[in-house]
Amino acid sequence: MKSNKLTYAKSGVNIKKSDKFVSFISSISKKTKKSGYFKNIGGFGAISDIPNYLNNPKLVTSADGVGTKIEIANDLKKYNTIGIDLVAMCVNDLIVQGAKPLLFLDYIAVDKIEVKKLKNIIRGIFKGCEIAGCKLVGGETAEMPGTYSKGKFDIAGFSVGLVEKKKILNNKIKKNDIILGIPSNGIHSNGYSLIRYVLKKKKINFKKNKFLKKELIRPTKIYVKDVLKLIKKNMIKGCANITGGGLVDNISRVIPKNHCADINLTKVKTLKIFKWLKKTGIEDDEMLKTFNCGIGFCLIANSKNKKKIIKSFKNKFQPYEIGKITKDISRVKLSGKIRW
């Protein structure tokens, strides 16, 4: 005989599954070297030590998501890398200020808890934290039937970093400094609404295309360790994470008043995936303001440090000069064209 009791489970929320998932997160958290001394997972709030190696520490915070790249993960039923994207989108913003990522929290909203899917997402988040050298200290998993349709989900990340006050990267950029572009490893996590529109309009089944399957789900490159190494040695004056808005919008955010980032687009070494996107009919201007086009991160430095900076990176991601700082009120100037 069916029960007529009104319960949370009947509304579509399964507390038992949620509790089991939290237990899983706690169990893998204990296995990591960065898990710390506090039992944070499953509590009401996360407790963490404040490092004592800084004399005048400043907190730097960031929050972000991965946009509609989630829909690619859903289409491919591949969820073990989207968490890396989530961490990358947050921690790559922290290092722009010179901060070392310390803590990370996640928010996952789903229509219904599917444990296998969520475990893979969390594994990706842990992997991202490991690459970035920070700790996953907590988060929230919200089961929201009615808000999200069947199989749909969203994720958001929140990161906290620390920087010594005198190491904050601001107001140090001067005329004749060089701009170095660090290669991206692909699309990262921007422009996916346009990509999905192109796929639909051109009737392209990317699930049957090995190249597109690989490129569209490739996780965002995390630049933390390489960039922090340079900051520690006082070798860079400023930097920019190239996300939505492309080179122009992101570099302009760190250029001082009455200065300009003069960028030569002919020097940009673009990637195969962007050449493919360009061939679908997207205009140059649209490509540049939507995608990173092959440069995932930019460094601004004194030209005397150029060789040392390049040598500090592994071959595939060695930065290269794409422009210099001039005196101008326009903040960013582009010359030449990318060789698609």
Span 178-335 CATH architecture: Alpha-Beta Complex (3.90)
> Residue 165 — pLDDT band, cuts 50, 70, 90?
very high
State percent of the chain over pLDDT 90.
Answer: 78
Q: Which CATH architecture has domain 9-167?
A: 2-Layer Sandwich (3.30)
**The pair of three-digit structure tokens given for residue 9, joined into one six-digit string:** 């489970």
Residue scoring higher pLDDT (37 or 281): 281
pLDDT of 284 higher than 70: yes
Q: Compute, in degrees rounded to 10, the torsion defined by CA atoms 74, 79, 85, 91.
A: 130
Confidence of residue 34 (pLDDT cuts 50, 70, 90): very low
Q: Of 253, 247, 251, give the one whose Cα is nearest residue 267.
A: 247
Query: Domain residues of the chain, as ranges?
Result: 9-167, 178-335
What's the rounded mean pLDDT across residues 184-191? 97
Predicted pLDDT at 290: 97
**Does pLDDT of 45 surpass 90?**
no
Q: Which of 130, 189, 186 is nearest to 155 (CA)?
A: 189
Q: What is the 3-state secondary structure (H, E, C) of the chain?
A: CCCCCCCCHHHCCCHHHHHHHHHHHHHHHHCCCCCCCCCCCCCCCCCCCCCCCCCCEEEEEEEEECCCHHHHHHHHCCCCCHHHHHHHHHHHHHHHHCCEEEEEEEEEEECCCCHHHHHHHHHHHHHHHHHHCCEEEEEEEEECECCECCCCEEEEEEEEEEEEHHHCCCCCCCCCCEEEEEECCCCCCCCHHHHHHHHHHCCCCHHHCHHHHHHHHCCCCCCHHHHHHHHHCCCCCEEEECCCCHHHHHHHCCCCCCEEEEEEHHHCCCCHHHHHHHHCCCCHHHHHHHCCCCEEEEEEECHHHHHHHHHCCCHHHCCEEEEEEEECCCEEEEECCCCC
pLDDT tens profile 79-137: 999 999 999 999 999 999 999 999 999 999 999 999 899 999 999 999 999 999 999 99
pLDDT of residue 138: 87
Burial of 45 per CB tally in 10 Å (0-12, 13-18, 19+):
exposed
Cα–Cα distances (Å) from 229 to 165, 223, 238, 307, in that order, read 17, 10, 14, 15
Q: pLDDT at residue 285 above 80?
A: yes
pLDDT of residue 24: 66
Residues 223, 116: Cα–Cα separation, whole Å: 29
Taking only Cα atoms into account, the Rg of the chain, rounded to an integer number of angstroms, comes to: 22
What is the Cα 202 distance to its own chain's centre? 28
Question: Using an 8 Å Cβ cutoff, are 157 and 89 in contact?
Answer: yes
Strands of the sheet containing 259-264, edge to edge, are 238-241, 295-301, 178-183, 320-327, 259-264, 331-335
Q: Give residue 121's Cα distance to chain centre.
A: 15
First to last CA, the chain: 67
pTM of the model: 0.90
